[in-house]
């Protein structure tokens, strides 16, 4: 079916539908950019008794999982998968529910560093963006 004024609202090919679909890409893209920066994960190392050094790493770095801090790496991988499913859901509308569920799981995992004590301001922003993606995915799945 071709998009024209008569069937644009019914078939979901109007400007509003396109903007709603594109809005699903904004938060994961910004999240991935922030996750790639080397300031997202904070780990404290001990140099001696009473002397600690704080180092920061990217969410994609293999160092935090090596020190049993798995949540940031899982968040990074799931955010990339979230972006891919958001892109694929443009063609296959049935993936909207999967997109929402994956966004919820990713947002919950992104908050886990609070429990482990390695949370940064950038981590708070990333978690906020992922919660925003949950809201957008839910709203896009209702139409």
pLDDT of residue 2: 52
**Can you give the pLDDT at residue 5?**
52
Report residue 125: phi and psi, to 5°. -65, -45
Task: Kindly tell me if the per-residue pLDDT of 80 is higher than 80.
Answer: yes
| Residue 14 confidence (pLDDT) | 64
- Mean pLDDT to the nearest integer, 26-31: 94
Is residue 1 predicted with pLDDT exceeding 50? no
pLDDT higher at 29 or 69: 29
Q: Average pLDDT for residues 45-54, to the nearest whole number?
A: 88
Mean pLDDT of the chain: 85
Q: Tell me the domain boundaries of the chain.
A: 8-142
């Amino acid at each position: 079916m071709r998009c024209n004024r008569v069937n644009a609202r019914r078939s979901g090919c109007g400007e509003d539908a396109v903007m709603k679909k594109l809005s699903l890409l904004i938060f994961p893209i910004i999240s991935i950019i922030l996750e790639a920066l080397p300031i997202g994960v904070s780990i404290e190392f001990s140099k001696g008794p009473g002397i600690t050094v704080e180092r920061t790493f990217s969410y994609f770095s293999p160092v935090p999982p090596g020190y049993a801090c798995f949540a940031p790496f899982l968040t990074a991988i799931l955010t990339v998968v979230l972006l891919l499913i958001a892109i694929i859901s443009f063609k296959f509308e049935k993936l909207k529910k999967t997109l929402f569920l994956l966004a919820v799981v990713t947002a919950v995992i992104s908050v886990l560093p609070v429990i482990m004590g390695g949370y940064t301001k950038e981590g708070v922003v990333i978690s906020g963006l992922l919660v925003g993606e949950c809201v957008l995915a839910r709203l896009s799945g209702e139409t």
